[in-house]
Chain A
Amino acid sequence: MMQKFHCDPDLPSWLRLTVVYFAVVLSDRLLIKGGRIINDDQSFYADVYLEDGLIKQIGENLIVPGGVKTIEANGRMVIPGGIDVNTYLQKPSQGMTAADDFFQGTRAALAGGTTMIIDHVVPEPGSSLLTSFEKWHEAADTKSCCDYSLHVDITSWYDGVREELEVLVQDKGVNSFQVYMAYKDLYQMSDSQLYEAFTFLKGLGAVILVHAENGDLIAQEQKRILEMGITGPEGHALSRPEELEAEAVFRAITIAGRINCPVYITKVMSKSAADIITLARKKGPLVFGEPIAASLGTDGTHYWSKNWAKAAAFVTSPPLSPDPTTPDYLTSLLACGDLQVTGSGHCPYSTAQKAVGKDNFTLIPEGVNGIEERMTVVWDKAVATGKMDENQFVAITSTNAAKIFNLYPRKGRIAVGSDADVVIWDPDKVKTITAKSHKSAVEYNIFEGMECHGSPLVVISQGKIVFEDGNINVNKGVGRFIPRKPFPEYLYQRVRIRNKVSGLQGVPRGMYDGPVYEVPATPKYATPAPSAKSSPSKHQPPPIRNLHQSNFSLSGAQIDDNNPRRTGHRIVAPPGGRSNITSLG
C-alpha cells in the first residue's frame, strides 16, 4: 500500500517526511462506502470507517481523513466476519498431524469469509492441559493469519486437572472445554466423571462442549462389523449409527440439567441428535447445538462410494448421516433457532494419511474440510433457499458464537468499537467448490462440484484487506490470541437465577423414635431366609453391622453365631406402644 503514496521529490524535506509518516498510518485506515450493514438484529445502509483495527465510525457522510483508501461496496452487504468455533488445525492422530496447519487453515478461513477461529487444543491423554495449551498457543501465534482463540479438550480427568483448569480460565483466557463421550479407553469419560467435570466447569463459569457419541456401543459395533469382514469406510458409518449420537446427546443434556449448567453440543450430524436438542430446549435446559459445514452441505451416502479415497475423505465423527434429507432438516432448525451456531470441524488429512486405514476403517484418521466453505455453504443452503434471512445468517455464522463464547460485541457485530473484521458479501456470486481451487493442502474436497450462491467479495481482518478480487494476501503470524472471560452473560445470567430459585431444602421432622430393624452382621443363615437376598435395595451387600445404629455393640464372633437369626423381624406392636411419629396419618 505504501507504493500508492509516492512523494513528490520537489517537496521540502520536512514535508516529505510528514507525508511518508502519514502514509504509514493511513495504511491502517479504510472506508467502506455505500454498503448495507447486516447485523443479527437489523440491516441498514451506512458507510463504515475502520482505523487501527477497529470500527471507528458508522453512518452517512462520515468525516474521515483525506486520502483514506475507500472501498465502494455498491449496495452489497457488509457483514461481521465469520467465526468458526470448531477447528482442529494441529490435531495429532497416530503420529500424523492434520494436513492444514494454522497458516493454511486460517488462510483458507479468510478466503471463505471467516475472520476468527476457535481451535481445539487436544492434549495427549495423561499429558497436562496447560502444557498442551502453551504448545498450541505458540504454534498459532507464529502461524495464524487471523485472530484466534482456543478451546481445551479434557482428554482425561486426572488428579490435578482442577488446578490446571482454574489456571486456564483465570490466567490464560480459555473459557470453553470439550469433553468426550466416545473414544473408549482413550478420551471417553464415564457419567460420573462427566458429572464431576460439569460441576467443576460450571463453578468456573466455562462453556462445556460435548462430543456426543456412545463410545461403549461404538466399540462393540466396530468389533462386530470388523468380524463380519467389513473393513472399508462404510464400516465407519455403520458402526456409528445416528441413534448412538442421539443417545449421548440425551445423556449429556440430562447430566447438565441436573447440575444446571449450560452445555454445547459440537458437531450435530443427524436429525435425531438435533431433535433431542430441540426437545430439551423446550423443557428448559440450557443447551446449544452446532451443526458443521459438512452436515449442512453433504451427506453420508459417499461412505459407500466405490472409490476408497473418496469414501475415506468423508470419515469424521459423528459420521455424516447417510440420510440425504439431513442437511435440509438441520438448516431448518438453524433457521428457527433450535440450533444456534455453525462450525466446520475442519481437520482434513491427505489421502495418503487416510490410507493408513485402508484395511481397517477404525484406523482412518477422522476429519473433513469445511473452514473455507462454511459461510458459502450456509448461505446457499439457508439464505438462497429462503429458509432464513440475512440477519439470521449473520447470527448463526458469527454473532451467536461470539455471544456464547464471550467475544461479543468485540466480534460478531458491525458496531463502533468492535474489531475491524468485516466481510463484503456478494449474494449473487456463484462459485463451484472444487479441490482444484481450494486453499486447503489436501487433494480432495468433500463438497466437490457443489455450486454455491453467495460468496465473499472483500475480506477485512484486523482492519486490513486480506482478500479482494479473488486474491488472497495474508501475513503469517499476524493473528492475535483473543482471550475470553468466563461467565458469558448469554449463558450464565440464566444459570445464576436458576441457582437462586432451585435451592433444595429438607423436610423439618421430629426425630424418628420408633423401632429400628437390626441389620444382621453376617448373612449366614441355616436356611435360606427371606431377608438377605432379594431386591435391589440399596443397603444390602455388604451388610456391615452399624455399631451406632445397633444397641448390640460387641463385635467379633458371638456366642450365638451358630443360631440362625430371625430375619423377617417384624415389630408391629413395639413394646411400650406405637409412638406417634411412626403411625400413619
Chain B
Amino acid sequence: MPVLGMTPADDFCQGTKAALAGGTTMILDHVFPDAGVSLLTAYEQWRERADGTACCDYSLHVDVPRWHESIREELEALVKDKGVNSFLVFMAYKDRCQCTDGQMYEIFSIIRDLGALAQVHAENGDIVQEEQKRLLELGITGPEGHVLSRPEEVEAEAVYRAVTIAKQANCPLYVTKVMSKGAADVIAQAKLRGVVVFGEPITASLGTSGSHYWSKNWAKAAAFVTSPPINPDPSTGDHLTSLLASGDLQVTGSAHCTFTTAQKAVGKDNFTLIPEGTNGIEERMSVVWEKCVASGKMDENEFVAVTSTNAAKIFNVYPRKGRVAVGSDADLVIWNPKATKIISAKSHNLNVEYNIFEGLECRGAPTVVVSQGRVVLEDGNLLVTPGAGRFIPRKTFPDFVYKRIKARNRLAEIHGVPRGLYDGPVHEVMVPAKPGGSAQARASCPGKISVPPVRNLHRSGFSLSGSQADDHIARRTAQKIMAPPGGRSNITSLS
C-alpha cells in the first residue's frame, strides 16, 4: 500500500494500473488542498476523481497545508464522517505550507484527541530556503542544487524536532519518506527512548542513489528530484533496508508522483522550480524483495509485514487488508521469487518517459495479481477496470498505535505540589514608574513574560489604577527585604 501523491503525469487510473502491475492492490493517496480550498472540499474533489478512475481499492490521507482557526472542526468532520484517520503536516516549503512548531503542537494535540495519526514531511524549510538562496547566488541552477540545498542534516533535524513535538503532545508520529541514514537513525533512537514513531522509506531511497543529481544529462538528473532528496551516499539504501529488517523502520511507500520531462523542464534554469516527485508505485514490491529478501536481510514474512501488514495495522485497515485470512478482502498476489525483471521506462506502465530505476535487475515479481477477487494480472497481461476501486474508510484509534498512547495518557497526568500560601515579602514590580535617571529602566530578560509589564490588579494590594498621587516620586527598584517587618515567616525560610 504505497502512499501515492497524485500527479499530473499519472492520474488515479494510470497510477493504480501501475500499482496492480507491480503487485500492489491498495493505495493511500494524499489529498493536497490548494490555497483557499478547505480540507473537506479538497477531500471531496479527490473522492470524485478517484471513484471514477481508480482500478484498485484506495483510501486517503489529508494534508494540512496551512493552519487556521477552524482546523479542529475540519479535522473532526473528516475523521468522524469521511473515514480519514491520517493527516500530513509540512515542516518544509516555507511561506507555503510550512507549520511552525507551535502550530504543529496544536495540530498534533487535536490529532491525538481524535485518535488519528500525525504524518510529517520532515525537512527544515527555513534552512532549505536559505540554502536555496545561497546556491542560486553561487550560480548553481541545475538539479544538483536541489540536493545541495536539502542536505541530510536538514532532514534529520526536522525528524528530531517532529519526534520531540510528538512526544510532548503524546501523539503517534509517522515520518513519510525517510530518505537518509541520519533521519533513519534519529527514528531508531527515538524508538529506543520509547516514542511512538513510525518511519517509511520509499522505493526511491531503497533502490537508487542521489549520485544521479550530478548527471550530465539534465533530464535524467531532474527525474530524480523529490523531497527530501535521494541521498548521494550510495550506502543509504543498504542502511535503510537493514533498519527495515530490524523493525526500526516499518513501512515501505513509493511517494509516487511523476512529472514528464517537459514538466520538469519548467525548472531548467532554476532547480527550485523543478516539480518534485519520482516514480515507484509499480517497482516498490520488486525493489524491496530484491534489496531485502534476495539479499538475505529479511525473510518472506517480514517482507509481507513491511510491504503490506504493518501499513494495514498502522492505518487501521487490518485485518481486512494486509493478511491472507478468512474474511479478509480478496486482494492477493502470487509471488514468484525466481522471476527476474529489468526495470525500464520502455516496459513500465507509467505515463512518463523516464524511470529512476532504469536498468535495475530485480529478482522477485508478481505472477498473478487478484484485486477484489478478480484476476487483474496474469501471464503478463493487465486487465483492469477503471472505477472498480472502492474507497476504504478507516476508523480512528488503531489499536496498533493507540493502545500505548492511551496508557501513556493515563500515566502522564501531572500534579502540582500542594504548598501553603507563600506569605513572605514580594518585590514590588515597578510599572511604568521610571526611577529618575536610572540605567535599567524596565528592561527585561529571558523572563518569559516581561512585555508588557501590566499591573496585575488581582495580585497587588494596591488596587487603584490610573495616575497616582505619588507618581512623581521615583520608586526604589531593587528593593531587597532581608528581614521583613514581623520577622520571617516559616514558609519562606530555607530548610
Contacts and interface: CB of A to CB of B under 8 A. Distances in A.
Interface string A190-207: 111011100000000000
Contacts of B479: 352
A187 B446 CA distance: 7
A88, A306, A351 pick with most chain B CB within 10 angstroms? A351
A97 B138 contact: no
Contact of A514 (B261, B444, B495): B261
A506 B139 contact: yes
Contact of B414 (A238, A309, A355): A238
Given A186-B446, A352-B480, A507 B142 contact: yes
A2 interface: no
B417 interface: yes
Given A250-B160, A535-B7, A584 B427 contact: no
Contacts of A257: 153
Nearest to A252: B157
A172 B413 CA distance: 51
B58 interface: no
A162 interface: no
Contact of B445 (A88, A244, A535, A538): A88
A583 B215 CA distance: 12
Nearest to B222: A512
A222 B131 contact: no
A366 B427 contact: no
Nearest to B435: A95
A534 B427 CA distance: 58
B459 to A, nearest CB: 6
A583 B5 contact: no
A356 B450 contact: no
B124 A254 contact: yes
Nearest to A541: B35
A215 to B, nearest CB: 8
A309 B97 contact: no
A203 B81 CA distance: 56
Contact of B266 (A180, A228, A517): A517
Given A356-B426, A506-B139, A570 B130 contact: no
A570 B168 CA distance: 46
Given A350-B427, A443-B482, A255 B35 contact: no
Contact of A186 (B144, B218, B439, B444): B444
Interface string A555-585: 0000000000001111110100000011111
Given A244-B168, A536-B93, A541-B35, A191 B477 contact: no
Contacts of B430: 95-96
Contact of A220 (B102, B221, B446): B102
Interface in B407-462: 414-420, 422, 424-427, 429-431, 439-451, 453, 459
B422 to A, nearest CB: 4
A251 interface: yes
A457 interface: no
A310 B494 contact: yes
A76 B364 CA distance: 76
A533 B34 contact: yes
B261 A515 contact: yes
B494 A254 contact: no
Given A214-B164, A539-B275, A528 B48 contact: yes
Contacts of A435: 494
A232 B491 CA distance: 14
B218 A584 contact: no
Interface stretch (A22-30, A40-48, A289-297, A357-365): A357-365
Interface stretch (B303-311, B331-339, B351-359): B351-359
B131 to A, nearest CB: 6
A504 B478 contact: no
A475 interface: no
B262 interface: yes
A448 B493 CA distance: 12
A258 B219 CA distance: 28
B273 interface: yes
A538 B272 contact: yes
B8 A567 contact: yes
B477 A96 contact: yes
Interface string B136-173: 00111110110010010110110011001101100000
A43 to B, nearest CB: 39
How many chain B residues sit at the interface, stated as a range, is 35 or more
Contacts of B295: none
A182 B446 CA distance: 8
Nearest to B255: A535
B480 A441 contact: yes
A464 to B, nearest CB: 29
B494 A309 contact: yes
B83 interface: no
Contact of B262 (A183, A304, A570): A570
A305, A549, A582 pick with most chain B CB within 10 angstroms? A582
B345 interface: yes
Contact of B141 (A99, A139, A506): A506
Interface string A463-494: 00000000000000000000000000000000
B153 to A, nearest CB: 5
B142 A506 contact: yes
A139, A241, A443, A508 pick with most chain B CB within 10 angstroms? A443
Given A94-B429, A536-B276, A582-B261, A504 B446 contact: no
B45 A528 contact: yes
B492 A308 contact: yes
Given A230-B414, A311-B417, A535-B276, A243 B164 contact: yes
Contacts of B480: 99, 350, 352-353, 441
Contact of A211 (B165, B220, B416, B446): B446
B49 A570 contact: no
Interface string B467-495: 00000000001111110100000011111
Given A243-B164, A366-B445, A516 B491 contact: no
Contacts of B275: 535, 537-539
A333 interface: no
A452 B450 CA distance: 37
A335 interface: no
Given A535-B276, A539-B275, A307 B491 contact: yes
Nearest to A313: B494
A306 B417 CA distance: 7
Contacts of A508: 216
A139 B446 CA distance: 20
A584 B45 CA distance: 35
Nearest to A353: B427
B419 A535 contact: no
A515 B102 CA distance: 43
A306 B491 CA distance: 9
Contact of A217 (B154, B165, B260, B276): B165
A92, A127, A510, A519 pick with most chain B CB within 10 angstroms? A92
A52 to B, nearest CB: 33
A508 B221 CA distance: 12
A537 B416 contact: no
15 contacts: A92-B441, A93-B444, A186-B444, A216-B100, A217-B101, A234-B416, A251-B157, A255-B127, A257-B153, A258-B154, A506-B139, A509-B217, A537-B276, A568-B8, A583-B219
Interface of A: 88, 90-97, 99, 122-125, 127, 135, 139, 180, 182-187, 190-192, 194-196, 211, 214, 216-222, 225, 228-232, 234-235, 238, 241, 243-244, 246-247, 250-251, 254-255, 257-258, 304-311, 313, 317, 350-353, 355-356, 358-359, 362-366, 435, 441, 443-444, 448, 504-510, 512, 514-517, 519, 523, 528, 530-539, 541-542, 549, 567-572, 574, 581-585
Given A307-B419, A537-B259, 12 more contacts: A96-B427, A124-B441, A127-B443, A191-B124, A507-B216, A509-B217, A512-B268, A514-B265, A574-B262, A582-B261, A583-B217, A584-B223
Q: What are the 9 closest A-B residue pairs judged by CB atoms, nearest first?
A: A191-B126, A92-B443, A216-B101, A254-B157, A230-B416, A95-B430, A506-B140, A537-B275, A247-B164
